[in-house]
Structure 1
Amino acid sequence: MPRFLAVYTMKPEDLARFRSLPKPEQDAIDAVGFQQWVDWEARNAAFFPDRGGMVGRTTRVTKDGIADAVNPFCGYIVVEADTIEAAARLFENHPHFTVFPGDGVDIMPFLTDAR
């Protein structure tokens, strides 16, 4: 079955706005969102050969060296689905952007199979 990389994205300013909320408000959002996320993963577990995870600050390596970098990536998961459209449908109304300040989920096919 085809595999796809799903990358959770979030604008830094949206995360900053969320982190500026009072701590009890953040905790309330987290409680609702995390439970919805866990439930979503459980419902769709058969599609996830690698559940991935959330990621932190970025370090970029180029021909010029190593430096801090900024990108919108905040997590990933590997999806198995018949088509990219089927993979994308799994993320409709996902708590990443319906509860949390996430901006979207980018779905990309793997062009090589590293299994």
Structure 2
Amino acid sequence: MMTKYLVLYHADVGAEEQMQQSEADAQAGMQVWMDWAQGAGAALLDFGTPVGNARRVDADGADAATTTVGGYSLVEAADADAAAALMKGHPHLRIGTIEVLESIDLPGM
């Protein structure tokens, strides 16, 4: 049985800032991500997107927040070790870290 995992990309530089580069550098950067995605194959359920403009929400409302999360992906693997192994050689590791979180099935859902 395969399990879904949420992949969070952490970096000290936000996604908006990372994307402010020349067109040639942006294309080269995107190509290494596409190469990783091709290597991940069917295990990559959702390539995801960069994220920004964080808001922290609590019972009193919402306020601007800071976060190191710059994007996400969704993968599927047999276990947590296999999900983590999919991140080997990931281009994001050049600038930050990757967190892999197991999706837990809810009973009756």
- TM-score if structure 2 supplies the norm length? 0.80
Matched, 1:48 2:44: yes
Select 1:95's aligned residue among 86, 91, 97. 91
Query: How far apart in 2 are the matches of 1:51 and 1:30?
Result: 17
Matched, 1:107 2:103: no
Query: How far apart in 2 are the matches of 1:79 and 1:110?
Result: 10
Alignment of 1:28-43 (within 5 A): 29-43=25-39
Higher helix share: 1
Query: How far apart in 2 are the matches of 1:45 and 1:57?
Result: 30
Select 1:80's aligned residue among 72, 76, 80. 76
Gaps of 5+ in 1: none
Query: Percent identity over the alignment?
Result: 31
Q: SS of the counterpart of 2:98?
A: strand
- TM-score if structure 1 supplies the norm length? 0.76
Gaps of 5+ in 2: none
Compute the displacement of 1:89 (Å). Answer: 1.0
